């Protein structure tokens, strides 16, 4: 009787591990192209200033102060067959709204991740296309609800920054995918999000209406950045094969049958 109970517990523990893969941490090695600037009223901009900006910042991971914009990593956790939890780590999360810069949405590629090999050249016009947008309901709050949508390219909002005070110029990273403005599309998943201003994290929890395996392929890419585009993170993780859990259970069933035969 005791041995039978122990076996049941063993099955339950193994099953739980199979259904919940270990979270994958994506460190920020992605840079992104198109440093740019916006001039305030009356600013005197030298000729070829955009060339100068790109020469100076084209290789910079962060445009602006690291303690305001640095995105360090993203943790992707696939739970069961259709639940996704993404945790983004950035110094931005304790200064949301400053200078008019707000949170961005999460973009997902369900057919792999193929950025430009030299990511200093990657912008919306090249690299990976994003199939799903996970869109927040409020970009200047600390928590709320979210919806996932199949991306319609025209509804992607590109990075921007508000003009600075008269006579000044402000730098940012242009032409990055930052938000998704759904225009009547049906949601394909929902959930919630929360910012922790002490841990400096944004956590997005999404339950999709379909299983991962029915939505896309074996590798999914992820992209996130605040609205000014100052530090973009991209990366990828493998989607567990749907057969893994079923096969494990079949194997355990066979083991149990052998045990019953031995103990009979
Ligand atoms: Ca894609
Ligand atoms: Ca791109
Ligand atoms: Ca980056």
pLDDT at 240: 82
Chain-wide mean pLDDT for the chain?
90
Q: Is the pLDDT of residue 12 over 50?
A: no
Say if residue 28 is in the same domain as residue 43. Answer: yes
Comparing CA positions, the residue from 146, 221, 224, 151 lying closest to residue 189 is: 146
**Contact 21/240 with Cβ under 8 angstroms?**
yes
Query: Are 28 and 119 found together in one domain?
Result: yes
pLDDT of residue 241: 77
Considering every ligand atom, which ligand is closest to the CA of 225? 3
Q: Which ligand is nearest to the CA of 111?
A: 1
Instruction: Give the side-chain half-sphere CA count within 13 A for 11.
Output: 15
Is the distance from CB of 234 to CB of 116 less than 8 angstroms? Answer: no
64: left (phi over 0), alpha (psi -120 to 50) or beta: left
Q: 129 C-alpha to center of ligand 2: Å?
A: 7
Distance 124 CA to ligand 2 centre (A): 4
Q: Which two tokens stand for residue 10?
A: 């063993």
Interval between CA 215 and ligand 1 midpoint (Å): 12
How many structural domains does the chain have? 2
Residue with tokens 């103990």: 263
Provide the whole-model pTM.
0.86
Tell me the per-residue pLDDT of 58-112, one tens digit each, with 9 for 90 and over.
999 999 999 999 999 999 999 999 999 999 999 999 999 999 999 999 999 999 9
pLDDT digit string, tens, across residues 141-195: 999 999 999 999 999 999 999 999 999 999 999 999 999 999 999 999 999 999 9
From CA 2, how far away is CA 193, in angstroms rounded? 44
Q: How far is the CA of 176 from the centre of ligand 1 (A)?
A: 15
pLDDT of residue 264: 47
Ligand nearest to the CA of 173: 3
Q: Is there a single domain that holds both residue 247 and residue 200?
A: no
The answer to which of 1-10, 116-125, 180-189, 235-244 has the lowest mean pLDDT is: 1-10
CA of 211 to the centre of ligand 1 (A): 18
56 and 13 part of one domain: no
Distance from residue 202's CA to the centre of ligand 3 (Å):
16
Cα–Cα–Cα angle for 107, 149, 223, rounded to 5 degrees: 0
pLDDT at 21 over 80: no
CA of 132 to the centre of ligand 1 (A): 9
Which domain range does residue 15 map to? 1-21+241-264
Other beta carbons less than 10 A from residue 9's beta carbon: 9
């Amino acid at each position: 009787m005791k041995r039978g109970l122990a076996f049941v517990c063993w099955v339950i523990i193994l099953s739980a591990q199979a259904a919940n893969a270990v979270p994958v941490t994506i460190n920020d090695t992605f840079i992104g192209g198109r440093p740019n600037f916006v001039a305030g009223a009356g600013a005197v901009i030298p000729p070829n200033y955009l060339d100068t900006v790109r020469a100076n910042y084209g290789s910079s991971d962060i445009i602006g102060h690291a303690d305001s914009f640095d995105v360090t990593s993203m943790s992707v956790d696939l739970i069961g067959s259709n639940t996704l939890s993404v945790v983004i780590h950035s110094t931005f999360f304790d200064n949301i709204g400053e200078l008019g810069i707000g949170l961005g949405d999460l973009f997902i590629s369900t057919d792999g991740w193929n950025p430009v090999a030299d990511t200093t050249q990657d912008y919306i016009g090249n690299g990976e296309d994003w199939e799903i947008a996970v869109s927040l309901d409020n970009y200047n709050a600390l928590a709320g609800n979210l919806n996932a949508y199949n991306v319609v390219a025209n509804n992607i909002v590109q990075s921007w920054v508000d003009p600075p005070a008269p006579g000044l110029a402000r730098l940012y990273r242009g032409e990055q995918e930052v938000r998704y403005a759904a225009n009547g599309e049906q949601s394909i998943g929902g959930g919630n999000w929360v910012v922790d201003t002490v841990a400096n994290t944004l956590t997005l929890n999404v339950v999709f209406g379909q299983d991962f395996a029915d939505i896309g392929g074996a590798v999914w890419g992820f992209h996130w950045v605040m609205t000014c585009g100052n530090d973009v993170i991209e990366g990828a993780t493998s989607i567990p094969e749907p057969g893994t859990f079923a096969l494990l259970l079949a194997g355990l069933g066979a083991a149990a049958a052998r045990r019953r035969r031995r103990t009979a």
